[in-house]
């Protein structure tokens, strides 16, 4: 039987989602917890990798288990898991799905948000990137629209990864002001390693008027990571939504 997990995690103290040698990951902690409770070695497949320090307000993963778990069994498993898991990880739901539904390959889209604050503050700074300079939001949004016309995101991909290609389909990309917060939202069918953080860093250079919109397009066309801007800190990046065919 295949089961989906809906969860969230604060990635500050984790080396990303995926299991890494000598580093604590969200996947490792979840597998250990479920294996302990179900008394069987449980392998979990996530909806995608997240970089070290990146957070997820909504994340899906799946695992297979030989027995059929009733609704009461699942509710108990959720309760027991949350009792064992560290504070940074919470399971919202576990539910049975069709045996061929895959958390990674069947995801239609993923939405990330990056949070920038223009005001120094004492409480949310672990989850926001502070930028005191004035930013041209209109130009940043104009440049962001070029991403919807782009297929190859090599310029914003971490170098020397094991991906077969750097083709992604971005369906939305925009900045929104909310008080002193600037929130960048981007949705795509898939994301490359470090892609969102590199895009945000480059768009901020547009906002600072360090590069023009035409130069932003040239960076995209160059397919050269060295031409793009810096990668902004992981602490302000959140996976916000994952969409599947049935939910």
Task: Find the length of the chain.
Answer: 247
51 a catalytic residue: yes
**Are residues 238 and 106 in contact, defined by beta-carbon separation less than 8 angstroms?**
no
Q: Are strands 109-117 and 129-130 parallel, antiparallel or unpaired?
A: parallel
Q: How far, in Å, CA of 12 to CA of 10, rounded?
A: 6
**Are residues 63 and 49 in contact, defined by beta-carbon separation less than 8 angstroms?**
no
Q: Which stretch of DSSP H or E encloses residue 216? A: helix 213-222
Catalytic hit among 51, 100, 151, 189: 51
Q: Which of 160, 207, 158 is nearest to 182 (CA)?
A: 207
Question: In 3-state terms, what secondary structure has residue 33?
Answer: helix
**Are residues 79 and 60 in contact, defined by beta-carbon separation less than 8 angstroms?**
no
Q: Catalytic residue positions? A: 51
């Amino acid at each position: 039987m295949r089961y989906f997990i809906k969860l969230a995690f604060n990635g500050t103290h984790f080396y990303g989602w995926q299991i890494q040698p000598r580093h604590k990951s969200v996947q490792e902690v979840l597998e250990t917890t479920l294996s302990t409770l179900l008394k069987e070695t449980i392998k979990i497949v996530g909806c995608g990798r997240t970089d070290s320090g990146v957070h997820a307000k909504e994340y899906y993963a799946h695992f297979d288990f030989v027995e059929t778990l009733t609704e009461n069994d699942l509710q108990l498993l959720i309760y027991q898991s949350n009792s064992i898991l560290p504070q940074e990880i919470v399971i919202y739901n576990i539910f049975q799905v069709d045996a061929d539904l895959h958390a990674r390959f069947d995801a239609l889209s993923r939405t990330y948000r990056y949070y920038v604050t223009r005001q120094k503050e004492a409480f949310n700074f672990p989850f926001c990137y502070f930028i005191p300079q004035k930013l041209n939001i209109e130009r940043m949004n104009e440049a962001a629209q070029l991403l919807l016309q782009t297929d190859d995101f090599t310029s914003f991909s971490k170098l020397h990864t094991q991906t077969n290609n750097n083709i992604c389909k971005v369906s939305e990309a925009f900045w929104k002001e909310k008080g002193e917060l600037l929130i960048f939202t981007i949705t795509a069918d898939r994301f490359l390693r470090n892609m969102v953080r590199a895009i945000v860093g480059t768009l901020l250079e547009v906002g600072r008027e360090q590069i023009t919109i035409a130069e932003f397009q040239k960076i995209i066309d160059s397919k050269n990571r060295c031409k793009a801007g810096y990668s902004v800190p992981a602490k302000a990046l959140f996976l916000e939504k994952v969409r599947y065919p049935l939910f």
